[in-house]
Every structure is written in structure tokens, then in C-alpha cells.
């Protein structure tokens, strides 16, 4: 399953080793998730790292290696009613390259979190993890 990670999830993953955003990274290999991002999403990460603890920059270098970079999509040939114009490339790119968009950005994605956009699930990271666990698909420990 391809998961597109919004900038907010990337930053949260760098800032805390305990949250659901970091858990997405930690669990991706075991669960065969392909973590997807784009230059548009990555461009906002570095300027925000200075607001986090000093080790966040090093963490970003490590997490970045787990991401598959895809080409940004800036327009669609479909009807779109989405007020967050600065985040349209995130939404469109996720639609083109993933089954699920994970975001913590309630300001711009609040109206669509928990819904679908042309079949693309838009979820908070912890909601995604809960859904996968409830469906019996989440492998959260090593299968020795």
C-alpha cells in the first residue's frame, strides 16, 4: 500500500519518536507500506526543523531515506472543490501516487479528513493505524 505523507506528518515524525507519525515510519517495512512524498512536501520540512529539538535534522536525514519521491501533480482533469489552494499539489499528488494521504493539517484538510477524494483515503496517522489494527492487517511487532 502506498501512503503519501503530508509535510505535517514528516515534521511530526522528526519531532517525536513516540507519536503515530513516527510509528508510520517504524512500521512501514513490516507492513509493506511504501512511504511516498514529493519535492513540494519536502520543501516545507527543512525550514520547520529549526522549531524542533536539534536532533530533528539528523532524524529527517534518516527518515528521508525511507521515502519514495514522486513527481508533483499540480492540476487535475476532474472537478475539485477544495479550499486549501496551497495544499492542492499535496492532494493531487497523493491521488496520483497513493491509496491513502496521511496528514495532521486540520486547518487545510479538516473538511476532508476521514473522507475520500476520488477514492483516496485522507486520514490522521493514528486513525490509519487504528483502522489497520482493527482490520487485522497491522503487524506491529517482529514476527519471529
**Is residue 144 packed enough to be buried (19+ CB in 10 Å), middle (13-18) or exposed (0-12)?**
exposed
HSE-CB of 40 using CA atoms within 13 angstroms: 18
Question: Which residues have a Cβ under 8 Å from the Cβ of 95 and sit 6 or more positions away?
Answer: 73, 76, 101, 117, 118, 119, 120
- pLDDT at position 144 is 41
What is the mean pLDDT of each successive set of 10 residues along the chain, which is 144 residues long?
A: 97 96 97 97 94 95 98 72 68 95 88 89 97 95 54
Q: What is the pLDDT of residue 81?
A: 56
- Percentages helix, strand, coil for the chain (3-state, rounded to 5) are 45, 15, 40
Residues in the chain: 144
Q: What does the pLDDT read at residue 64?
A: 97
CATH architecture for segment(s) 2-107: 3-Layer(aba) Sandwich (3.40)
Amino acid at each position: 500500500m502506498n501512503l503519501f505523507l503530508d509535510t505535517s506528518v514528516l515534521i511530526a515524525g522528526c519531532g517525536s519518536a513516540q507519536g503515530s507519525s513516527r510509528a508510520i515510519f517504524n512500521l512501514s517495512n513490516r507492513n509493506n507500506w511504501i512511504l511516498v512524498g514529493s519535492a513540494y512536501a519536502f520543501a516545507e520540512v527543512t525550514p520547520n526543523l529549526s522549531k524542533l529539538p536539534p536532533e530533528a535534522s539528523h532524524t529527517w536525514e534518516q527518515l528521508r531515506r525511507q521515502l519514495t519521491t514522486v513527481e508533483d501533480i499540480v492540476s487535475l482533469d476532474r472537478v475539485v472543490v477544495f479550499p486549501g489552494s496551497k495544499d492542492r499539489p499535496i492532494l493531487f499528488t497523493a491521488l496520483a501516487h497513493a491509496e491513502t494521504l496521511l496528514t495532521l493539517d486540520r486547518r487545510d484538510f479538516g473538511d476532508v479528513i476521514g473522507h475520500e477524494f476520488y477514492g483516496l483515503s485522507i486520514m490522521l496517522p493514528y486513525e490509519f493505524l487504528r483502522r489497520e489494527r482493527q482490520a487485522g492487517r497491522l503487524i506491529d511487532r517482529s514476527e519471529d
